[in-house]
């Protein structure tokens, strides 16, 4: 556990965020290595299936994780106020909620997996493998939620190192199992998902045993657990906007895949591979935004609002500086990075084009995420939700449809002729989808800054001074 209410703001946030960043890097390495091994050992269609499954998985689990994130903010504020009894009650409440919701998500996801892929217009040759991967992955939902729930609780109390150690162990185990299940046991794409489930399950059980022996505040025991309705209502109040936001973001990603799926397996594969690289590249901005949320929660709980402003300035300087360095690396290494996933030159070229266009705007993403971190840490999650959904559904998806030519192709399929120049009707193909990303980020950053300047987020705190 770590007190974030003392010390120089920039140094405190950097030290707290560093283990989180390393942990998140290892967690993304899960999916990065998973995709790399699948693409190399099984083939492009299998890699496309893994990529298409990602947004569906996120859509199924994001609402629950969003609600749980509200509990993390409450834990941080109670911890900052030194009310340890309510910290323990909040921990119990989050764990009970995530357990029951994981069962619901698992049953619903497995029951409708094939229909989901058919709705997204995934090419028929990819659907069977995508369904196998998704169903196998969802069979371990309870373990996934349990592991992420413990990590979130520890971060709320200021402990970012312990989750890191668990993630490192889980990632290394996943890599070994990937190779064993796919290369030696010949389990194909099912083996890739099974490796992830097994690694998460083993690490979750080890984490429970470790915490029960070493942490007085965070102990996972079935007897004596208390579900606090008031704390749950507060968690829902804070986390519901985040839950809706993440759900609709994931549905937006599925909608984007519906556009991309029209351009064939090569483009789907390129988008999937480039997305794995992008997830790693954006982690510093996301992690420092998450660290800032915990920092804000504890300092607001302690009544130190001036440290919140100083923390934002420090976070912006750090994350923007890192984003420029990452942009340079991604552009310089775009072709070697894509070759890690595929030997198909069409896939490599399409993915490299995506990385050049999108990575140029990583600094904008950093600004947006830092500003949203301030608001979420204070408990104000509603406005960030609206900003994110507006940027995605009103800006990114329509612009992607327009610039790619799919908007006009839809009307053409219906027999409706639009009297527009041929350039607009033809579109930019997949490039149109790529250019929509930085446009959406810029919109979100502008609106987030304008709301931050109003100062209304200060009135949303749980702990009143």
DSSP states of 54-72: HHHHHHHHHHHHHHHHHHH
Higher pLDDT, 415 or 395: 395
pLDDT at 277: 92
pLDDT at 450: 94
- The sign of the torsion formed by the CA atoms of 81, 84, 85, 87 equals positive
Contacts of 19 (CB under 8 A, 6+ apart): 160, 161, 163, 164
pLDDT at 384: 86
pLDDT at 1: 57
In whole angstroms, give the CA distance from residue 406 to residue 161.
46
Tens-digit pLDDT profile for residues 245-274? 788 888 898 899 889 988 888 999 999 999
With b for 16 or more beta-carbon neighbours within 10 A and e for fewer, the 426-455 pattern comes to ebebbebbbbbbbbbbbbbbebbeebbeee
pLDDT at 371: 94
Residue of 95, 401, 158 whose CA lies nearest to 290:
158
Mean pLDDT of the chain: 86
In whole angstroms, give the CA distance from residue 227 to residue 322.
41
Tens-digit pLDDT profile for residues 129-160? 999 999 999 999 999 898 888 887 777 777 77
Residue of 256, 297, 342 whose CA lies nearest to 36:
342
Which range has highest mean pLDDT (18-32, 304-318, 349-363)? 349-363
Q: Which segment of 153-157, 182-186, 327-331 scores lowest on mean pLDDT?
A: 153-157
Residue 278 confidence class, pLDDT cut points 50, 70, 90:
very high
Residue 416 confidence class, pLDDT cut points 50, 70, 90:
low
Tokens 């198909």 appear where? 344
In whole angstroms, give the CA distance from residue 444 to residue 326.
21
In whole angstroms, give the CA distance from residue 155 to residue 73.
10
pLDDT at 377: 84
In whole angstroms, give the CA distance from residue 217 to residue 1.
10
Contacts of 127 (CB under 8 A, 6+ apart): 114, 117, 118
With b for 16 or more beta-carbon neighbours within 10 A and e for fewer, the 359-368 pattern comes to bebbbbbbbb
Residue of 196, 248, 207, 246 whose CA lies nearest to 65:
246
Which two structure tokens, joined as six digits, stand for 425? 């009707």
Residue of 287, 265, 264, 267 whose CA lies nearest to 275:
267
pLDDT at 409: 64
Higher pLDDT, 27 or 380: 380
Q: Are 90 and 220 in contact (CB under 8 A)?
A: no
In whole angstroms, give the CA distance from residue 457 to residue 156.
19
Q: Are 133 and 35 in contact (CB under 8 A)?
A: no
Contacts of 140 (CB under 8 A, 6+ apart): 196, 197, 198, 200, 201
Q: Are 60 and 281 in contact (CB under 8 A)?
A: no
In whole angstroms, give the CA distance from residue 295 to residue 196.
31
What percent of the chain stands above pLDDT 90? 39
| Mean pLDDT to the nearest integer, 368-388 | 87
Residue 234 confidence class, pLDDT cut points 50, 70, 90:
confident
In whole angstroms, give the CA distance from residue 217 to residue 375.
27
CB-neighbour burial class of residue 96 (10 A; exposed 0-12, middle 13-18, buried 19+): middle
């Amino acid at each position: 556990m770590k007190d974030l209410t003392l010390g120089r703001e920039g140094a405190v946030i950097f030290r707290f965020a560093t283990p989180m960043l390393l942990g998140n890097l290892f967690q993304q390495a899960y999916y990065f290595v998973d995709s790399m091994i699948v693409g190399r050992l099984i083939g492009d269609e299998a890699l496309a299936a893994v990529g298409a499954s990602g947004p569906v998985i996120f859509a199924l689990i994001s609402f629950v994780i969003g609600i749980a994130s509200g509990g993390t903010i409450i834990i941080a504020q109670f911890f900052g106020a030194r009310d340890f009894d309510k910290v323990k009650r909040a921990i119990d409440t989050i764990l009970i909620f995530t357990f029951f919701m994981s069962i619901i998500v698992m049953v619903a996801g497995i029951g409708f997996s094939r229909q989901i892929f058919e709705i997204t217009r995934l090419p028929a040759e990819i659907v069977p493998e995508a369904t196998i991967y998704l169903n196998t992955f969802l069979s371990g939902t309870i373990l996934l939620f349990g592991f992420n729930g413990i990590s979130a609780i520890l971060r709320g109390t200021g402990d970012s190192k312990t989750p890191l150690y668990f993630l490192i162990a889980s990632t290394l185990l996943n890599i070994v199992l990937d190779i064993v299940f796919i290369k030696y046991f010949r389990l194909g794409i099912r083996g890739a998902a099974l490796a992830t489930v097994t690694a998460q399950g083993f690490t979750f059980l080890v984490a429970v045993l470790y915490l029960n022996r070493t942490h007085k505040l965070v102990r996972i025991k079935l007897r004596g657990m208390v579900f606090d309705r008031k704390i749950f209502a507060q968690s829902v109040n804070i986390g519901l906007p985040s839950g809706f936001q993440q759900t609709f973001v994931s549905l937006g990603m599925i909608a984007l895949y519906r556009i991309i799926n029209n351009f064939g397996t090569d483009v789907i594969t390129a988008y999937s591979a480039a997305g794995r690289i992008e997830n790693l590249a954006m982690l510093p901005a996301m992690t420092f935004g998450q660290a800032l949320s915990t920092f804000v929660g504890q300092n607001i709980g302690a009544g130190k609002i001036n440290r919140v402003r100083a923390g934002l300035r420090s976070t912006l300087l750090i994350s923007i500086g890192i984003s420029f360095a990452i942009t340079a690396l991604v552009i310089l290494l775009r072709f070697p990075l894509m070759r890690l996933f595929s030997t198909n030159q069409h896939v490599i070229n399409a993915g490299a084009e995506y990385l050049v266009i999108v990575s140029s705007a990583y600094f904008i993403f950093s600004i947006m995420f830092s500003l949203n971190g301030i608001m979420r840490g204070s408990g104000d999650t509603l406005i960030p939700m609206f900003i994110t959904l507006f940027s995605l559904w009103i800006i990114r998806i329509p612009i992607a449809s327009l610039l790619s030519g799919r908007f006009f192709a839809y009307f053409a399929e219906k027999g409706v002729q639009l009297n527009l120049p041929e350039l607009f009707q033809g579109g930019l193909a997949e490039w149109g989808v790529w250019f929509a990303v930085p446009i959406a980020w810029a919109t979100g950053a502008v609106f987030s800054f304008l709301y931050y300047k109003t100062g209304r987020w200060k009135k949303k705190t749980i702990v009143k001074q």
